[in-house]
């Protein structure tokens, strides 16, 4: 996995609550409306009692929902860096700091999924004074520094009439590197570095560098027997160091504003070349205009 160590923990800060009705809630309100009109038109005490019970359920739903969100702390951890369009782990921890009541049925997801895409989390239960954790996958679609500033926590607890949602202000940054194109999808000729050179210094290559007197620390398999026989002194071969292949990538950073998509493709292709060259043991230098 190319991601670095996981870091950048952050916590939830409550900003807004916005309850929204769901289908069940509209049906319930429709039933309440019918009972209201029936009670007013008939003045039936039984209908008034039923209406009171229905309204009490609504009040209880609001109170329990508010209590469900109280004294919660959400910790989220993302990698400090990643590659574009490559999944990376995202872990969450929900701490319930209430002393008496547990928390039920939380849906947690990223609020803005245009650049940062993340699998949603569902937490069915968090016991009082305890925490629960879960791990999912996230992905960034664009390179650059991504500032993650908002998450969303929602719940239909207790009766499912409303979806109460919390907008959470967060502080987290992840550096996203350009997308790495798989090696099999790139032109083989671009990744084929032919040959290798010998450096004029001692090393472990295959070309002979010099013949010198043998010392006890030398390997016996490198003894040059013909030279030893001529001089009556043990001689050993010493080889030249092999120079690893080197590649210089030249990248033009300037382009037309209308070619932004093409520019991003070139950035990704250049980064992919550099990545695969380094993986194959090739020394890489990048030249971009006056920067090297």
Closest to 69 measured CA to CA, from 6, 152, 148: 152
Least confident span in 95-109, 115-129, 201-215, 245-259: 201-215
Of the listed ranges 6-15, 43-52, 106-115, 281-290, the least confidently predicted one is 6-15
In whole angstroms, how large is the CA radius of gyration of the chain?
34
Q: What is the pLDDT of residues 143-192, one digit of tens each?
A: 988 888 888 899 989 888 888 888 777 777 889 999 998 888 777 665 55
Q: How far is CA 227 from the centre of its chain?
A: 62
Gap between the Cα atoms of 190 and 156, Å rounded: 55
- pLDDT given at position 13: 42
pLDDT of residue 227: 81
Mean pLDDT of 4-32: 60
Residue 278 has pLDDT above 90, yes or no: no
Residues in Cβ contact with 103 at an 8 Å cutoff, skipping those fewer than 6 apart: 68, 69, 72, 94, 96, 123, 125, 126
In the CATH scheme, what is the code of domain 6-177? 2.60.40.10
Q: Where are the beta strands (DSSP E) in 101-161?
A: 103-110, 116-118, 121-126, 130-140, 144-155
The residues near 185 (Cβ < 8 Å, ≥ 6 apart) are none
Q: Write the pLDDT tens digit of every residue in 52-81.
A: 999 999 899 889 988 998 888 888 888 999
In tens, the pLDDT along 197-237 reads 444 455 555 566 678 888 887 777 778 778 888 888 888 88
Q: Where are the domains of the chain?
A: 6-177, 183-193+245-287, 197-243
- The pLDDT confidence band at residue 267, using thresholds 50, 70 and 90, is confident
| Model pLDDT, residue 253 | 76
Helix (H, G, I), strand (E, B) or coil at 226: helix
The pLDDT value recorded for residue 199 is 47
Strand order in the sheet with 208-213: 197-202, 235-243, 208-213
Six-digit token pair at 124? 């069915």
116-136 pLDDT tens trace: 888 889 999 999 999 999 999
As a whole number, the mean pLDDT across the chain is 80
- Are 211 and 235 contacting, i.e. CB atoms less than 8 angstroms apart? yes
pLDDT score recorded for residue 206: 56
User: Quick one: 53 exposed, middle or buried, by C-beta within 10 A (0-12, 13-18, 19+)?
Assistant: exposed
């Amino acid at each position: 996995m190319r991601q670095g160590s996981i870091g950048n923990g952050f916590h939830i800060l409550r900003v807004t609550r916005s309850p929204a009705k769901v289908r069940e809630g509209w049906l319930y309100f429709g039933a309440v409306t019918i009972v209201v009109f029936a009670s007013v038109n008939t003045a039936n005490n039984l209908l008034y009692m039923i209406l009171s019970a229905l309204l009490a359920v609504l009040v209880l739903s609001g109170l329990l929902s508010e209590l469900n969100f109280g004294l919660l702390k959400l910790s989220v951890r993302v990698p400090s860096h990643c590659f574009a369009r490559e999944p990376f782990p995202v872990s969450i921890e929900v701490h319930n700091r209430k002393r008496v009541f547990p928390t039920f049925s939380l849906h947690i997801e990223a609020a803005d999924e245009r650049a940062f895409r993340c699998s949603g989390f569902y937490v069915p239960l968090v016991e009082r004074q305890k925490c629960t954790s879960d791990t999912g996958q996230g992905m960034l679609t664009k390179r650059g520094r991504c500032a993650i500033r908002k998450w969303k926590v929602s719940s239909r607890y207790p009766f499912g009439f409303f979806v109460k949602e919390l907008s959470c202000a967060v502080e987290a940054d992840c550096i996203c590197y350009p997308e790495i194109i798989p090696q099999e999808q790139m032109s083989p000729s671009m990744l084929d570095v032919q040959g290798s050179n010998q450096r004029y210094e001692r090393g472990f290559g295959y070309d002979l560098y010099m013949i010198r007197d043998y010392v006890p620390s030398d390997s016996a398999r490198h003894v040059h027997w013909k030279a030893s026989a001529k001089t009556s002194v043990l001689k050993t071969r010493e080889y030249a160091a092999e120079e690893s292949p080197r590649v210089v990538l030249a990248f033009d950073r300037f382009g037309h504003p209308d070619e932004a998509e093409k520019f991003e493709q070139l950035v990704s292709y250049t980064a992919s070349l550099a990545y695969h060259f380094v993986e194959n043991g090739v020394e890489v230098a990048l030249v971009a205009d006056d920067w090297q």
